[in-house]
């Protein structure tokens, strides 16, 4: 069971316990609850990072088995218009952009011996004019989500790689599940006070909502004078 599933299950059980006596069969969507937990996590990250109260290292996650393929930069659907040369490419889970460049700790080879310079804007096109290090491998990340709701990343100046590694702060833990190449993703968890804060906040908000929804209407006992 992943860390996200554990939090969702704990919140669900706390809500059910808190609603005991009000209703025998409350309708709570597990999927919606997971969505709310992911959104609350991002909100807390934003709030604490703005106050410099959140260690960046507590949020980093390592993906070591991201497959590399080839894709054209123009991303055109019609083959007759697809004129750009295919380059090395991989899909990346969305990254928390509140940390700017600090959201990415490492992108490179799986043995961590080759690290890529990272561009997140079209300034990557000026890499060739650098006075020093223009031959260093680099990656351009297109931060507009693609059709799979992921980021496209394009690799330049690097040897042929079948897989790459990424250490970064990711938005949605659910997007990491497809990269579980070693079968141990469910065992990995970057322990942080964030989980406890998310659990507490979502539970309180949901209990308040359901109690107001399930509370029977009170009779109007006001007397005109």
Q: Which pLDDT tens digit goes with each residue over 105-144?
A: 999 999 999 999 999 988 888 888 787 878 889 999 999 9
Between 27 and 154, where is the model more confident? 154
Domain for residue 17, yes or no?
Answer: yes
Q: Within 10 Å of residue 76's Cβ, how many Cβ atoms?
A: 12
Taking residues 10-17, report their average pLDDT.
90
At CA 20, angle to CA 17 and CA 21, rounded to 5?
165
98: tokens are: 């509140």
Domain for residue 220, yes or no?
Answer: no
Same domain as 146, residue 107: yes
Same domain as 168, residue 137: yes
The half-sphere exposure of 63 on its side-chain side, counting CA atoms within 13 A, is: 24
Residue 35, domain extent: 1-55+192-214
* pLDDT at residue number 38: 94
Whether residue 105 contacts residue 126, with contact meaning beta carbons closer than 8 Å, is answered with no
| Helix axis angle, 193-214 to 3-18, nearest 10° | 30
Domain for residue 154, yes or no?
Answer: yes
pLDDT tens for residues 170-219?
A: 999 899 888 866 555 555 566 568 888 999 999 999 998 888 876 655 56
Considering its fold, how many domains does the chain have in total? 2
DSSP secondary structure of 65-90 = EEE-EEE-TT--SSGGG--SPPEEEE
Same domain as 136, residue 159: yes
Same domain as 111, residue 12: no
Whether residue 35 contacts residue 8, with contact meaning beta carbons closer than 8 Å, is answered with no
Domain for residue 62, yes or no?
Answer: no
Domain for residue 124, yes or no?
Answer: yes
Cα–Cα dist 159/137, whole Å: 8
Residue 163: closest CA among 97, 114, 122: 114
* pLDDT at residue number 126: 80
Domain for residue 152, yes or no?
Answer: yes
Cα–Cα dist 197/9, whole Å: 15
Same domain as 88, residue 12: no
pLDDT tens for residues 54-100?
A: 888 888 999 988 999 999 888 765 555 455 788 999 999 999 988 88
Whether residue 118 contacts residue 107, with contact meaning beta carbons closer than 8 Å, is answered with yes
Cβ-based neighbours of 179, under 8 Å, separated by 6 or more: 63, 65, 66, 93, 185
Same domain as 153, residue 74: yes
pLDDT tens for residues 138-170?
A: 999 999 999 999 999 999 998 888 999 999 999
Whether residue 192 contacts residue 44, with contact meaning beta carbons closer than 8 Å, is answered with no
Cα→Cα distances 155→104, 142, 191, Å: 16, 12, 32
* pLDDT at residue number 195: 87
Cα→Cα distances 157→88, 123, 137, 186, Å: 10, 16, 4, 34
8-state DSSP, 205: H
Same domain as 93, residue 3: no
Domain for residue 168, yes or no?
Answer: yes
* pLDDT at residue number 20: 78
Same domain as 161, residue 79: yes
Q: Within 10 Å of residue 4's Cβ, how many Cβ atoms?
A: 20
């Amino acid at each position: 069971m992943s860390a996200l599933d554990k939090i969702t299950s704990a919140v669900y059980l706390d809500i059910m316990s808190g609603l005991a006596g009000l209703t025998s069969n409350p309708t709570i969507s597990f999927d919606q609850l997971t969505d709310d937990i992911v959104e609350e996590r991002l909100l807390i990250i934003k709030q604490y990072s703005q106050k410099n109260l959140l260690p960046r290292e507590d949020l980093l996650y390592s993906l070591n088995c991201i497959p590399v393929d080839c894709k054209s930069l123009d991303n055109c659907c019609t083959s007759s218009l697809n004129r750009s040369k295919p380059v090395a490419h991989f899909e990346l889970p969305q990254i928390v952009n509140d940390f700017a460049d600090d959201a990415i700790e490492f992108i490179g080879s799986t043995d961590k011996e080759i690290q890529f310079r990272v561009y997140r804007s079209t300034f990557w096109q000026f890499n060739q004019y650098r006075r020093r290090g223009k031959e260093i491998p680099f990656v351009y990340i297109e931060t507009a989500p693609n059709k799979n709701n992921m980021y496209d990343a394009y690799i330049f100046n690097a040897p042929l790689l079948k897989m790459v590694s990424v250490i970064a702060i990711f938005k949605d833990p659910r997007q990491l599940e497809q990269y579980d190449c070693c079968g141990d993703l469910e065992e990995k968890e970057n322990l942080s006070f964030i989980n406890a804060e998310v659990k507490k906040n979502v539970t309180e908000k949901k209990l308040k909502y359901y109690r107001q929804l399930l509370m029977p209407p009170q009779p109007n006992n006001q007397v005109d004078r």
